[in-house]
């Protein structure tokens, strides 16, 4: 099964600071590094490192050709990445505090240059039963979702970052939602975390739901409605940037290969923990070998 990840590609500017900058404050950073990033880019890297057959679709500026080359070196298909001369590559400015938490603002750039007339050409390269993965950092996401569903693809949505228009998307076309607590509360229309899964199951009874809860683990509800909960893997955080994207890549890569939901969730949690223990986003994503080693170690500890 091929995966079309139609998503963002960013350049991440990461600053380590003592605390998040406050209004009117000028704050010196303790370090600065440049990383590849963007939710789409990170998830493609994670999928490739999990062993999935992933092909990235999206837009970059002329300053982002190195990002396309990086994806290619990682084993990601890049034939569906176009270059525009009218906008720079999207970028993010990321503050990271000593506890590992981050604050991010984005500039969409080339990610907002996706055009409707290019969507058909991309999806022509995929077949019924293949998977489409989308987030919310590019334009034309609604059209991409609808077109993919019409063509018989398995549609997975990570509604991040959550914006007020997402609930108006054709969400009845989604086969699997992968979301965090904030996104889940918005989609379910509730502030009660215990009502997220039941609320979404009532609205989307056939969809599978994956709700990530950070250090509290992850909850999964399949098409049958059976609930499965998996704890997070313990780790001392260095930088949480990219952890959610890493989870998605390893969970989805494992699940689409036929591993049980429990195994896929555990792989995702272990991969995210390894990511959190390192600086950066895409550069901190572990390999499949590292995740399997972590899995083997956890199994031995349980015996």
Q: How many Å apart are CA 278 and CA 111, to the nearest integer? A: 27
Sequence-distant (6+) residues with CB within 8 A of 81 are 9, 56, 57, 58, 59, 60, 68, 71
245 has catalytic annotation: yes
Q: How many Å apart are CA 65 and CA 290, to the nearest integer? A: 29
CA distances from 217 to 77, 180, 182, 287 (A): 31, 11, 15, 21
CA angle 203, 255, 269 (to 5 degrees): 90
Which sign, positive or negative, has the C-alpha torsion 244, 120, 130, 70?
negative
Q: How many Å apart are CA 63 and CA 221, to the nearest integer? A: 41
Catalytic pick among 245, 283, 301, 302: 245
Query: Is residue 255 within 8 Å of 280, Cβ to Cβ?
Result: no
Residue 164, token pair as written in the block = 């007020």
Please identify every residue annotated as catalytic: 245
């Amino acid at each position: 099964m091929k995966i079309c990840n139609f998503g963002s590609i960013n350049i991440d500017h990461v600053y380590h600071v003592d605390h998040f900058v406050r209004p009117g404050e000028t704050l010196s950073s303790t370090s600065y590094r440049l990383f590849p990033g963007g939710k789409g880019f990170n998830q493609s890297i994670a999928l490739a490192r999990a062993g999935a057959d992933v092909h990235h679709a999206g837009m970059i500026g002329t300053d982002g050709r190195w990002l396309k080359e990086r994806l290619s070196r990682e084993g990601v298909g890049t034939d569906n990445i176009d270059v525009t001369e009218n906008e720079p590559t999207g970028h993010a400015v990321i503050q990271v505090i000593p506890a590992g938490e981050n604050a991010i603002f984005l500039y969409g750039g080339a990610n907002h240059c996706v055009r409707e007339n290019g969507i058909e050409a991309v999806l022509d390269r995929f077949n019924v039963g293949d998977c489409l993965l989308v987030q919310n950092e590019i334009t034309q996401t609604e059209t991409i979702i609808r077109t993919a569903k019409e063509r018989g693809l398995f549609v997975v949505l990570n509604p991040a970052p959550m914006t007020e228009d997402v609930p108006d998307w054709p969400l009845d076309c989604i086969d699997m939602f992968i979301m965090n607590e904030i996104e889940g509360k918005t989609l379910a229309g509730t502030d009660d975390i215990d009502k997220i899964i039941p609320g979404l199951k009532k609205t989307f009874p056939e969809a599978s739901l994956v709700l990530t809860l950070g250090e509290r683990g992850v909850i999964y509800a399949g098409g049958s409605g059976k609930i499965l909960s998996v704890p997070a893997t313990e780790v001392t955080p260095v930088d949480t940037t990219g952890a959610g994207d890493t989870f998605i890549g390893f969970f989805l890569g494992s699940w689409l290969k036929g591993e049980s939901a429990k195994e896929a969730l555990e792989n995702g949690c272990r991969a995210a923990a390894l990511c959190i223990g390192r600086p950066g986003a895409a550069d901190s994503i572990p390999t499949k070998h590292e995740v399997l080693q972590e899995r083997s170690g956890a199994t031995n500890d349980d015996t």
